[in-house]
Amino acid sequence: MLSKTLQKALNDQIGKEFYSAYLYLSMSAYFQSENLPGCAHWMRLQYQEEIAHALKLFDYVHDREGAADLQAIAQPQAKFSSPVDVFKEALAHERKVTASINALYALAQKENDYATLIALQWFVTEQVEEEKNAAGIVEQLKMVGDNRVALLMLDRQLGARQG
Residue 163: pLDDT over 90 = no
How confident is the model over 16-31, as a mean pLDDT? 98
- CATH number of the domain within which 20 lies: 1.20.1260.10
User: Rounded to an integer, what distance in angstroms lies between the CA atom of residue 107 and that of residue 5?
Assistant: 9
What would the pLDDT profile of 111-138 be if each residue is shown by its tens digit? 999 999 999 999 999 999 999 999 999 9
Q: Domain of 152? A: 4-159
DSSP single-letter state for residue 81 = S
Q: How many helices (H) and strands (E) does the chain have?
A: 5, 0
The upper half-sphere exposure of residue 9, i.e. CA atoms within 13 Å in the direction of its Cβ, equals 17
- Number of C-beta neighbours around residue 160 at 10 A: 9
> Helix (H, G, I), strand (E, B), or coil: what is residue 72?
coil
Question: 37-63 and 148-159 helices cross at what angle (nearest 10)?
Answer: 40
How confident is the model over 70-98, as a mean pLDDT? 97
User: Do 158 and 41 form a contact (C-beta atoms < 8 A)?
Assistant: yes
| Nearest Cα to Cα of residue 103 among 74, 75, 133, 123 | 123
Q: What mean pLDDT is reported for the chain?
A: 97
User: Rounded to an integer, what distance in angstroms lies between the CA atom of residue 56 and that of residue 139?
Assistant: 31
Q: Domain total for the chain? A: 1
User: Rounded to an integer, what distance in angstroms lies between the CA atom of residue 100 and that of residue 120?
Assistant: 11
